[in-house]
């Protein structure tokens, strides 16, 4: 179990016979035997039967810690928000399959579901939409901030700074209860992040900022703020709004991924919600996480520039001496086709067909997928397209510029970050998150004065 001492399967089913010093018996309770001493550890079972050994008392009982670089085998919390099964390709928010939400819900309704635990009634949804509308404007003084970022600054850097700055513009209100304060902060974030994202795009282009409109839905409003102009009014296409809703729904939560873990970890120090979300945005920026949707398009463009043949790129991805990886392929948890990628692929095909858009990158992506899925390296490594593989093509069809792709992901992930943060704050088992380590550096040695160093 702990990977330090080799074990062989024992004669009794479910038991492990030890060759050396460590033995772990799992039945109704878990017994860990180290150097002849037995430690009892509770076995925790989730709703879907997934099992975990609760090691929280391990160190106090035995002096041992567990080592799990990258946390691939470590559960950091119990959560009732999102269920995923990476082997079967299942994703559910609050129990509802992602396929049903993508087909029938809107992003605002899904955000409500994630944050509050239940689908809203019509009245609750209306009230929520009204609140989002009421909070959609951004403090006018924040525009000076925006305008002073260098023109070439990456929008993810701008967004994380601006979200952190929201606390300065919207300080705590001592007159209201903590619960009311959280509700206001949550609504502000959901509404203003969308406005700020569009604002940063307009300012980066030197264009006039477009204000949110009360008569438009969340997604339509965003597209309008991005693309409306005094000289070319933006025509809101229903197909674009639908595709954007699905895109955001698919990104709304994904249990303990890198950015959500960052939000929970930073939040565990009891910082304000704006600061915790800002940390999540920074984590999402990385190309191995949210930055992958941009990296996929960049990779497809390079393939196109090189004549469109995918074979050399497949070969490079397999070459261990080459750091190149097939972007949009592989996932820490999914060892089968990412269910979100399946939905996104359909949305992509439908949108491009309906809007009569032809994108050569889609043909390259299809070819790449076809070749990779037949290749033994990708099969043996369980590497399948992830959500980012087709999202970039959808975003391009909507007119979203490449450097805004990860910002689009961030807007979508916001309800997930918020609900995970809320859950962790309300968790009776809450603790400051502070992992341990195994020290492998120098043993004790003496300080050498500078003139004696070589
Ligand atoms: N192309 C080629 N080989 C890959 C790829 C890939 N995209 N992904 C993983 N591998 C290989 C690794 O080289 C490694 O091979 P080895 O065991 O022979 O040495 C093996 O598969 C396992 O890879 P790890 O990096 O250990 O897997 P991990 O679970 O840590 O990484 C990750 C998952 C980061 C997503 C990885 O698959 C990757 O880099 N993919 C490309 C980037 C990407 O698409 N990211 C988006 C993820 S989804 C999201 O964040 C929304």
Assess whether 331 carries a catalytic annotation.
Answer: yes
Q: 273-284 and 405-426 helices cross at what angle (nearest 10)?
A: 140
Those residues whose C-beta lies under 8 Å from the C-beta of residue 420, and which sit 6 or more positions away, are 79, 81, 253, 260, 263, 264
**Ligand 1 centroid to residue 324 C-alpha, Å:** 11
Catalytic residue among 251, 254, 331, 338: 331
The pLDDT, as a whole number, for residue 291 is 86
Q: Of all atoms in ligand 1, which is nearest to the CA of residue 254? A: 51
The answer to whether 110 and 418 have CB atoms below 8 angstroms apart is no
**Ligand 1 centroid to residue 448 C-alpha, Å:** 44
The pLDDT, as a whole number, for residue 203 is 87
Q: Which tokens in the block code for residue 242?
A: 């639908």
Task: Report the C-alpha gap between 301 and 303 in whole angstroms.
Answer: 5
Which residue matches tokens 């009776």?
A: 428
For ligand 1, pick from 316, 330, 385, 410 the residue to mutate: most ligand atoms within 8 Å of CB: 330
Judged on CB neighbours under 10 Å (0-12, 13-18, 19+), 393 is buried
pLDDT tens sequence across 400-433 = 999 999 999 999 999 999 999 999 999 998 899 9
In the chain, the N- to C-terminal Cα span, in Å, equals 45
**Ligand 1 centroid to residue 70 C-alpha, Å:** 13
**Does ligand 1 come within 6 angstroms of the Cβ of 316?**
no
**Does ligand 1 come within 6 angstroms of the Cβ of 288?**
yes
**Does ligand 1 come within 6 angstroms of the Cβ of 388?**
yes
**Does ligand 1 come within 6 angstroms of the Cβ of 289?**
yes
Instruction: Please report, for the chain, how many H helices and E strands are present, in that order.
Output: 18, 10
Q: Dmax of the chain from CA atoms? A: 80
User: Element (H or E) spanning 240, and its range?
Assistant: helix 238-251
The pLDDT, as a whole number, for residue 145 is 85
Assess whether 426 carries a catalytic annotation.
Answer: no
- Give the side-chain half-sphere CA count within 13 A for 65: 9
Q: Closest Cα to atom 41, ligand 1: which residue?
A: 327
The pLDDT, as a whole number, for residue 19 is 43
Task: Report the C-alpha gap between 166 and 262 in whole angstroms.
Answer: 19
The pLDDT, as a whole number, for residue 7 is 37
Q: Read off the DSSP letter of residue 13.
A: T
Please report, for residues 44, 67, 229, the alpha-carbon distance to residue 41 in angstroms, rounded to integers and kept in the order given: 10, 17, 63
The answer to whether 430 and 384 have CB atoms below 8 angstroms apart is no
Low-confidence stretches of the chain (pLDDT < 70) are 1-28
Q: Of all atoms in ligand 1, which is nearest to the CA of residue 251? A: 51
**Does ligand 1 come within 6 angstroms of the Cβ of 34?**
no
Which residue matches tokens 């790129």?
A: 313
């Amino acid at each position: 179990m702990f990977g330090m001492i080799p074990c062989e399967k024992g004669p009794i089913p479910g038991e492990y016979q030890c060759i050396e010093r460590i033995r772990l018996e799992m039945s109704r309770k878990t017994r860990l035997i180290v150097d002849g001493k037995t430690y009892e550890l509770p076995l925790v079972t989730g709703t879907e039967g997934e099992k975990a050994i609760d090691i929280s008392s391990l160190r106090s009982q035995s002096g041992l810690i567990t080592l799990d670089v990258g946390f691939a085998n470590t559960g950091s919390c119990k959560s009732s928000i999102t269920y995923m099964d990476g082997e079967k390709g299942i994703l559910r928010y609050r129990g509802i399959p992602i396929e049903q939400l993508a087909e029938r819900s809107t992003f605002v309704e899904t955000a409500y579901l994630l944050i509050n635990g239940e689908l809203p009634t019509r009245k609750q949804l209306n009230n929520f939409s009204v609140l989002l509308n009421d909070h959609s404007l951004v403090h006018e003084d924040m525009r000076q901030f925006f305008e002073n970022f260098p023109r070439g600054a990456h929008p993810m850097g701008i967004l994380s700074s601006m979200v952190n700055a929201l606390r300065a513009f919207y300080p705590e209100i001592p007159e209201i209860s903590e619960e009311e304060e959280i509700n206001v902060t949550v609504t502000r974030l959901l509404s203003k992040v969308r406005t700020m994202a569009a604002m940063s795009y307009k300012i980066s282009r030197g264009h006039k900022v477009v204000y949110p409109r009360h008569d438009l839905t969340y997604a339509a409003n965003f597209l309008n703020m991005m693309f409306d102009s005094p000289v070319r009014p933006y025509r809101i296409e229903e197909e674009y709004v639908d595709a954007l809703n699905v895109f955001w729904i698919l990104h709304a939560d994904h249990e303990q991924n890198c950015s959500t873990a960052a939000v929970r970890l930073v939040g565990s120090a009891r910082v304000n919600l704006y600061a915790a979300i800002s940390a999540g945005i920074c984590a999402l920026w990385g190309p191995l996480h949210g930055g992958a949707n941009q990296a996929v398009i960049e990779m497809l463009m390079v393939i196109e520039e090189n004549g469109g043949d995918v074979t050399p790129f497949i070969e490079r991805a397999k070459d261990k001496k080459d750091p190149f990886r097939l972007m949009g392929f592989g996932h820490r948890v999914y060892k089968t086709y990412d269910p979100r990628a399946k939905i996104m692929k359909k949305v992509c095909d439908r949108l491009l067909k309906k809007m009569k858009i032809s994108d050569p990158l889609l043909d390259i992506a299809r070819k790449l997928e076809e070749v990779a899925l037949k290749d033994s390296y990708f099969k043996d490594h369980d590497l399948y397209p992830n959500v980012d593989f087709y999202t970039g093509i959808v975003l391009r069809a909507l007119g979203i510029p490449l450097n805004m792709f990860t910002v689009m992901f961030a807007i979508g992930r916001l309800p997930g970050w918020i609900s995970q943060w809320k859950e962790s704050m309300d968790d009776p088992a809450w603790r400051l998150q502070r992992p341990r380590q195994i020290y492998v550096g120098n043993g004790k040695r003496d300080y050498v004065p500078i003139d004696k160093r070589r």
